[in-house]
């Protein structure tokens, strides 16, 4: 029996004394309370609470994917956690709409009281980015300074420590590299796939070269783009070239990992690939969710402060727009459709290979 047998009370369970006493408007301290500062505080505190939940879910995914092997049922649990994070991201974006009920003039009533504090100092969000796989070399700098320079020494050390941890991107890459179906014994899938790709590219090039509604100038532009796409396919089939792109920071996943991810997507209708496909899709959803949140935040910042600098010293909406473009993590997965071919053109898998990709209860005895 518990030492304290008194009934649990809702107010005490949620520690509402502490939570509801945590809003301390700076404008009130100078004797001129700004009405909308309360909204500003509440919305940003809600952000931080949701960040805490995202970290809780993300840590669960990291634990699952960090194992030497990952059971299929555990991939399902990871998919569920990613979906929850994505739903939270929708709330984060919706909360910006609530914040926008504050007008620019309302914000000016207390904005100067916030300097130099800024959302850029959100320790939890920096940890989320690092645990997902954003590394310093891929980050924007503020006037040449590192992103942790705006944090306290204690928080800077904490965030720096997460840079050394194995990220979700790292775990996903290792998991994909272990995928056993990148090769199929005597069946050379990749030779068959390359043949299908060559046929598709040749057909597409003929369409550009012979299309009656394209003039010479536009045809030259289209053919140049086509040549760029062909070069992209060349890197897919050339491990050495892919590794060069990795060294340049233009690719994050290894050559073997990207082949596994491509195979999962191309044959996602096969039972064994259902859950891995949903997991990879969940990662893209997370990346897209944070990109959308940054872009929405940038629009709000432009609306609120125009061309002024942010309270933390950034270029305001300009920084946020640039971060939305640069701070993507699973860009390799976003690029996978480049290598897709129609289902009708996919190499037909031999029956023994198809049986490997099915479930035992679906196989003939």
On whether the CB atoms of residues 82 and 61 are closer than 8 A, the answer is yes
What whole-number percentage of the chain has pLDDT above 90? 58
Mean pLDDT of 151-169: 95
State whether residue 31 is helix, strand or coil: coil
On whether the CB atoms of residues 37 and 106 are closer than 8 A, the answer is no
What are the residues facing 187 on neighbouring strands?
A: 184
Q: What is the tens place of the pLDDT at every residue in 107-134?
A: 999 999 998 888 889 999 999 999 999 9
Mean pLDDT of 60-66: 97
In order of their start, the domains of the chain are: 33-165+269-327 (1.20.58.480), 171-266+335-365 (no CATH)
Q: What average pLDDT does the structure give for the chain?
A: 89
| Cβ neighbour number for residue 33 with a 10 Å cutoff | 14
On whether the CB atoms of residues 130 and 123 are closer than 8 A, the answer is no
Mean pLDDT of 175-202: 84
Give Cα 225 to chain centroid, integer Å: 27
Angle at 241 between CA 238 and CA 245, to 5 degrees: 135
Mean pLDDT of 70-79: 93
Q: Report the distance separating Cα 266 and Cα 277, nearest Å.
A: 10
Residue 329's pLDDT is 95
Give Cα 83 to chain centroid, integer Å: 12
Whether pLDDT at 361 is above 60 = no
On whether the CB atoms of residues 311 and 344 are closer than 8 A, the answer is no
DSSP letter assigned to residue 187: B
Q: What's the token pair of residue 206?
A: 């003929």
Q: What's the token pair of residue 117?
A: 């504090």
Q: What is the tens place of the pLDDT at every residue in 233-289?
A: 888 999 999 999 999 989 999 999 999 999 999 999 888 889 999 999 999 999 999
Residue 350's pLDDT is 81
Q: Report the distance separating Cα 102 and Cα 346, nearest Å.
A: 54
| Cβ neighbour number for residue 11 with a 10 Å cutoff | 9
Quote the pTM value.
Answer: 0.89
Whether pLDDT at 360 is above 70 = no
Say which range, 22-36, 194-208, 271-285, has the weakest mean pLDDT. 194-208
Mean pLDDT of 21-39: 95
Say which range, 24-33, 47-56, 164-173, 349-358, has the weakest mean pLDDT. 349-358
Whether pLDDT at 205 is above 60 = yes
Find tokens 């300074």 and name the residue: 145
Q: Report the distance separating Cα 360 and Cα 365, nearest Å.
A: 9
Residue 3's pLDDT is 62
Q: Report the distance separating Cα 102 and Cα 208, nearest Å.
A: 51
Mean pLDDT of 26-35: 93
* Banded pLDDT at 309 (limits 50, 70, 90): low
Q: Which helix (H) or strand (E) holds 362?
A: none
Which sign does the torsion angle of CA 141, 144, 146, 148 carry? Answer: negative
* Banded pLDDT at 311 (limits 50, 70, 90): low
């Amino acid at each position: 029996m518990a030492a304290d047998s008194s009934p649990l009370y809702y107010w005490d369970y949620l520690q509402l004394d502490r939570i509801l006493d945590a809003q301390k408007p700076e404008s009130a301290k100078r004797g001129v309370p700004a009405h909308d500062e309360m909204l500003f505080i509440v919305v940003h505190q809600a952000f931080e609470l949701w960040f805490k939940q995202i970290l809780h879910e993300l840590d669960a995914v990291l634990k699952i994917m960090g194992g030497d092997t990952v059971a299929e049922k555990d991939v399902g649990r990871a998919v569920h956690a990613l979906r929850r994070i994505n739903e939270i991201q929708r709330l984060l974006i919706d909360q910006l709409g609530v914040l926008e009920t504050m007008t620019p003039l309302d914000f000016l009533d207390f904005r100067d009281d916030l300097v130099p504090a800024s959302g850029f100092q959100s320790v939890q969000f920096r940890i989320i980015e690092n645990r997902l796989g954003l590394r310093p070399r891929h980050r924007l700098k503020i006037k040449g300074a590192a992103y942790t320079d705006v944090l306290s020494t204690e928080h800077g050390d904490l965030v720096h420590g997460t840079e050394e941890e194995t990220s979700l991107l790292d775990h996903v890459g290792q998991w994909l590299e272990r995928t056993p179906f990148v090769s199929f014994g005597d069946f050379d899938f990749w030779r068959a796939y390359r043949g299908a790709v060559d046929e598709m590219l040749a057909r597409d090039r003929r369409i550009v070269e012979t299309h009656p509604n394209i003039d010479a100038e536009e045809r030259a532009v289209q053919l140049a783009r086509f040549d760029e796409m062909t070069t992209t396919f060349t890197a897919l089939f050339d491990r050495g070239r892919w590794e060069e792109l990795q060294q340049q920071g233009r690719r994050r996943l290894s050559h073997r990992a990207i082949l596994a991810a491509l195979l999962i997507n191309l044959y996602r209708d096969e039972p064994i690939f259902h859950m891995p496909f949903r997991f990879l899709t969940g990662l893209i959803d997370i990346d897209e969710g944070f990109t959308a949140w940054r872009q929405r935040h940038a629009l709000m910042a432009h609306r609120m402060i125009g061309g002024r600098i942010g309270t933390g010293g950034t270029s305001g909406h300009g920084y946020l727009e640039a971060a939305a473009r640069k701070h993507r993590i699973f860009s390799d997965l976003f690029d996978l459709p480049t290598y897709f071919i129609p289902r009708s053109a996919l190499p037909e898998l031999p029956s023994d290979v198809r049986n490997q990709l099915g479930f035992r209860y679906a196989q003939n005895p």
